[in-house]
Each structure stands twice: as C-alpha cells, then as structure tokens.
Structure 1
Amino acid sequence: MRLLTFLTIFCISISASAATVKDLYDVAVPVEDQTEESRSDAIGGAFQRMLVRLSGTEQVLENPVLMGEQSNAQSYMSSLRYERGTEEQLLLSVTFMAGPMQKLLERAAAPVWGSSRPRTQLWLAVNSDEGRTAVGPEEGEWKAAFDGAMRRRGLPWMFPAWDLEDQMALPVASLWGLFEEDIASAAARYSSDGYLAGRIMAVGGAYSFTGYIHHSDIRHSLSVQADTPELLALEIAAEVAEKLSERYAVIPLAGIDNNELIRVTGINTFADYRALLEYLSANVAVRDVVVVASDRDEVTLALDLTTGWSQVLDSMALDKKIIADEEGVAYVWQR
C-alpha cells in the first residue's frame, strides 16, 4: 500500500514548504551507568531509534536485514559521549554516520526519509484546573512533552502564538469542539505545511487525545490514550510520523533501471550550477549526478537513483527548488 501511494503521488499537487531537521543523526538514550553492558544495551536502543527516525515508521524494526545489523551498530557510529539530562538523568548521546545509515536502509529495501521534512502546527486544548485552555508556546509540561516527542521522531513543529489574533480566530471552545473550518482558518495564518488539532483530557489519572492531522490531501483521525503527558505526546508524534512518512519517505526499488535524464533551466551563474548539483547529490534517493551537457542557462543531467523519478520529485516537492516548466518537458531551478 505504501509503495502504491508513492508511485501515484506525483499526480497530486503539493503546495508546502520544508524545514531542515538539524541533528537528525544524533540520538540520546537513557543509561543506568557507564558499564560496558549498559553501554552496549544503550547503543542497541539508539540504533533502533535512529532507524525509526530515518525511515519514519516503526515497521523497520521488523526488517530482518536491519535487525541483523544491530549487533554491528558501533560500525555506523561516528561518536558517543555521556551527558546529563533533566533531573540529572544519565544519557548516552550517539551520533550516527549519514551515508552508511542511508545505504543500510537502501540495502534492506526500507523507506529512507531525508532531513527536509514538513513542519506541523500543533493546535491543542487541554482540560486543567483552570478549565479548558490552549497549549501555547510558553514553557510548561505539555510543551516539554511535545518538544521531546517530536524531536525523537525527527519532526519539525511549532505552536501557534495564541496571541489576540489567534484567540479571536479560534476560541478555545471551537478548538475543543474540533470545528474544522475554524481550525483551518486559524492555521492559514502560519507558513507551515500542515497541522495537528485535538483536545487532551485527564481521565482517571491517565490522559486521552482526540483529534486529527491535516496535511495537503491527508486527513487522518487520531485517538490515543497514555498514562503520562510524555507517553501521550510520544504516541501522537508516532502517528504523525507514520502518516507523513507514507508521503515523503523514499523506498528503493530493486531490479529496476532507475537512471533518469533531466533538463534543468534557470542556471544563470556558476553558483546556480554548483548549488543544483549539491542539492541533487544531497537527496537520499540520488546515488550519483553526472553532467551530460551544458548550454547557456540549461544543463542536462544523468541521475542514478535508488527509486523512481516520480518518488524523487515527491520527496523534493516541499523544497520547491526544482519545478516542472509549463510544457512539462524540463525543470526550472528555483534557488
């Protein structure tokens, strides 16, 4: 089903922009002490967390090729160190190498999701001692919970300002009632790629979330329960990551000739030329870029891809740096 989505998505118009996830290959996991046994267990946990973050889906933890490499996790690392987290919790911070991790996922025929990812607005209301309130950008329990959860899954995100304009556009009662037209109108103020809207209720010492994610043509309902704010935020972030990775992660296609010849116009300076090559080479689905011809403001490029060209285009749609020309026979570089 995931592959079918990717192969057909090129026909869908996407009007989003991307955010670049920093520290995508850095993972910090809790560790009991600095013994070799604890460190080995923590490295295995960090390896699994990195696989999920890079693919966007927990399904990779069922991939025999990837799980077979867990014992070799140290060969994919570039550094590790101990540090203290909140409440002086001991953490093992691991940095993985981008190239080897991407090649491993490709070899395992698993999805690969690059660092250019859609930003999600969080429109959330929660019942508290003060009644129903909006969760805003100020420091607090829920902000910290969602910050950790979204970072863990490599998801760019933002809270609305909840200033007077937001409060007038979307009263808390409308958000709590999940009035979709009001939420969409308020969300249009911000230049992000989609939004998550919902209400959080404390029920018998636990928490429940009811809401939905809206992104481009995606509209997915969510209903989640958990014992703590941190666990609830993790469950919600996981649902968001799973849905977005279905759209934007790239799945290598084995046994298919994935070479593509493209013409790109708008190359007016050497800086444009270099930026185009660097941009294409950085894409997780592009193995190699070869310049075939250059004529004035146009270059012809041969691309060696891990998947079909339509999937590559879809993964780059958020950036809006390469767009089809009016005739649909070439592409225009938008630096």
Structure 2
Amino acid sequence: MFKSLIYVFYAALLVISVNFVSATESLQLDQSAVKVDDRTTQTKNNALKQAFKNVLVKNSGSQNAFSVPSIAAATNKPTAFIRQYGYQEVDGQLYLNASFDHQKVIKLLRDEQLPVWGKQRPLTLFWLSQETEGERVVVSDESMIETRSHIGDLASERGVPVLLPIMDLDDSMLVSVTDIRGMFADQVAAASARYSTDYFIMVSIDTTADNQVTYSMALYPSVSSEPLFNPLVQRSGTALDANAVIDEIFDVMSEYFVSRYAVADSGESLVTQLTFTDITERKQLVAIEQYLAQLSAVKYVSLIQLRGVSAEFSVQLFGTKEDLYRLLKLESKIKQQPVSVPASQGKGDPLVSSQSETINYIWLGH
C-alpha cells in the first residue's frame, strides 16, 4: 500500500544496463490511504470521503470531475462504492486504508461522459535541481531531502508513475545542476536514455535572498526524432515552499497526460481491428482478450478470426483509434511488428505500386 511509485535502482560495478519494474503494475487506482488522528466515527467518515475523492482523481486525472453535480454528490456517499477499509499505523502515524469498487467508479465517470485514465500510464524520469544545506544538488532516488519523499507520496496519491535518477558515475558525468537549471534538454535526454521511460521532466527550484521560492520546469518526450527545441509543457513561477512546487508540477504533468491518455466516450462507437501474431496456445487468446477489454479506450472486444498463428480481434472504442494506439505504445505486454504490404495505386495499373505499412502485434504477457 505504501510502496512508493519511485523505484530504487541498484547499479553493479561495470554493469551498464539497469532493469526496471513496470510502473503500471504498482498502480493502486482503487485504493487510498488517508492520515487520521483517531478512530472515531466522525474522523472515519471524513477520511472515507477524502479517500473516495483521491480515487476519483486517480481514475479521472483531474479535480475538474468534482464540478459535476452527480460526482460531487457521490463523494458525500462513499460507502456506496467502498469494498473494504481498515487502519494501519506506519512510523507512529495512523492511516485509514480504503479500497473501492473499480467498475462502479468507472461507471460513475462514464455516465457523466468524463475521461477515464486507465492503468496504461506513461513513466516519467524526474530530474530535479534543488538547494540543500547550502549546496545545489541533483536529487536522486536515494536522497534524504524532504522533497524526494513528497514526490513519492504524490506519485502514489495521484497515480502518476515517476522515477528519480540514481545519479551514479554515468549520470553524474552527463548531467549537472547547470544542465537542469539551464534547461539543456539534449544533454539531459542523452542521460535519460538508459532509463527507458516515456518522458523526462527537468525541474529547478531556487530560493531567493528574501526567501521566495521560484521554479522552472520543462517536460519532454524521452524518444524524439527531432532536436528537443520546444518542450511539450513549460512553466515557471513562485510558490510557498519546495513541496508546493512539486504539487504544481504534478498538476501540470497530470493535465498533460490526461489530455493524451484519458479517454471519454465519444458516443460514436467506432470499431477497429487488431491482429496478433505468433499465437501458439489458446490461453494466449484469452489473455489478449482480457487485456484489451480492460483498456480505458475499449468498450467491447471479440475474436473474429483465427488463421494459423494469427488472430484478429474486433475492438469497439469509447474514443478514437488514435486513443487506442497511444495506450498500446505504453504497454510492455505487447510488441509492435510493422509489416509492409503491397498497395496498388495508379487507378488499378499493376505496374504502379508502392509499399504501405500496417501494424501487427506480438503478445509478450503471461
């Protein structure tokens, strides 16, 4: 429950590659832990309301859901959605842990045609430059600074998977405080490649002589075919303290990721087909169908053709085909396999043809 979404990496001597755990497997989208002072009925009821709000934010990606009257009303009746709750004490702090019915939560959002942010979420590498004990440092996963803990808490609370760099010799040789403060994206992108994340973010936090906290941030894709001149999102401003900066950063990241990966019901019921190859066992077909069915972009899925080692599935969508393809690119359980096929052109002239590309998929899950 309290495992941070920031993963700890251990670098062995002379070992270049680093193995990472899938961020999506650690998401607990239907659970929330809320700090409480006691176990009284009033405290419990307030904590359950807050836990339910946290779960709604995790699954919608935004506080905007609470502006919808039916959603706001539902937050006052969390017991209608709850599965179980209990208490746990961690380092002297009492928590109320609550889990909610996933299907009911999603139905509540779908009924109001709100976007749903599913389990397929991008992983972001978090490069943070901050002053600590009079020295500017790049915050690593093993840093003892309070900001690092706050990043972990927010990652879990908001359902936004992030990594902090390990800052071993390789990282230190490529990235410095100056690179992050100067927003030198190409340099940081080169260091980010080893982590195989979907995005990286650079955040610089400074405290002025009059104790004002200022920050700047820029979000970039980890893989880009062009020079990184323009960030996907860029912000700067002031805040009360470093933790307040991190709060704002997570709001910015969530807003962008929801715009790309959360899917609302378009009402059009679009249908597309997906082909999986190298099918050798019947249980693979079952696993693929179950996997596709849980995607936030998918309304209904069925196997429509099995030919040799290839299987074709019909997929009815909540949104667009592009919504589906963006989610599939985030998934480690499948592998894309581009296939070039002849495409006749020139009004049927068989001598005038070119190669068009289609995508098949290989199932890597278990």
In 1, the alpha carbon distance for the partners of 2:143 and 2:304 equals: 53
Say whether residues 1:326 and 2:340 are aligned partners: yes
Match of 2:48 in 1: 43
For 1:110, the aligned partner's letter is L
Q: TM-score, normalised by structure 1?
A: 0.85
Report the Cα offset of residue 32 of structure 1. Answer: 3.7
Q: Which residue of 1 aligns with 2:198?
A: 193
Residue 258 to residue 71, structure 1, CA distance change in 2 (3 Å): farther
> Aligned-pair RMSD on alpha carbons?
2.4
- The partner residue of 2:119 within 115, 118, 125 is 115
Aligned equivalent of 1:267: 279
CA contact (8 A) 2:262 2:296 kept: no
User: How much does 1:180 deviate?
Assistant: 2.1
Deviation at 1:162, TM superposition (A): 1.0
The answer for the alignment partner of 1:81 in structure 2 is 86
- CA distance in 2 between counterparts of 1:206 and 1:27 reads 33
Higher RCO, 1 vs 2 (CA within 8 Å, ≥6 residues apart): 1
Larger radius of gyration: 2
User: 2-side partners of 1:257 and 1:131: how far apart?
Assistant: 56
**Secondary structure class of the residue paired with 1:231:** helix
Does 2:247 align with 1:237?
no
Deviation track 1:291-319 (CA, whole Å, cap 9, x = no partner) reads 22322122232333322333222222211
Give the equivalent residue in structure 2 for 1:212. Answer: 218
CA 1:151–1:268 in structure 2 vs 1: closer, same or farther (change >3 Å)? Answer: same
Q: How many residues align?
A: 317
> Does structure 2 retain, via aligned residues, the 8 Å contact 1:263–1:301?
yes
**Distance in structure 1 (CA, Å) of the matches to 2:105 and 2:64:** 16
Structure 1 SS opposite 2:178: helix
Which has more helix, going by share of residues? 1
Report if aligned partners of 1:210, 1:223 keep a CA contact under 8 Å in 2: yes
Alignment of 1:24-173 (within 5 A): 24-86=29-91, 88-140=92-144, 141-173=146-178
Deviation at 1:147, TM superposition (A): 0.7
Cα displacement (A) at 1:262: 4.2
Query: What TM-score does the superposition give when structure 2 sets the normalisation length?
Result: 0.79
* Residue among 279, 285, 291 paired with 2:291: 279
Give the fraction of aligned pairs with identical amino acids, expressed as a percent: 24
Could you tell me which residue of structure 2 aligns to residue 294 of structure 1? 306
Q: Indicate conservation of the 8 Å contact 1:253/1:306, yes or no.
A: yes
Cα distance in 2, alignment partners of residues 309 and 162 from structure 1: 39
Q: Deviations over 1:69-97 (max 9, x none)?
A: 223321211111122345x3332211112
- Structure 2 residue runs of 5 or longer lacking an equivalent are 1-20, 225-230, 342-356
Contact 1:170 1:186 in 2 (8 A): yes
Mean Cα displacement is larger for which, 218-227 or 37-46? 218-227
- Bigger drift between 314-323 and 108-117 goes to 314-323
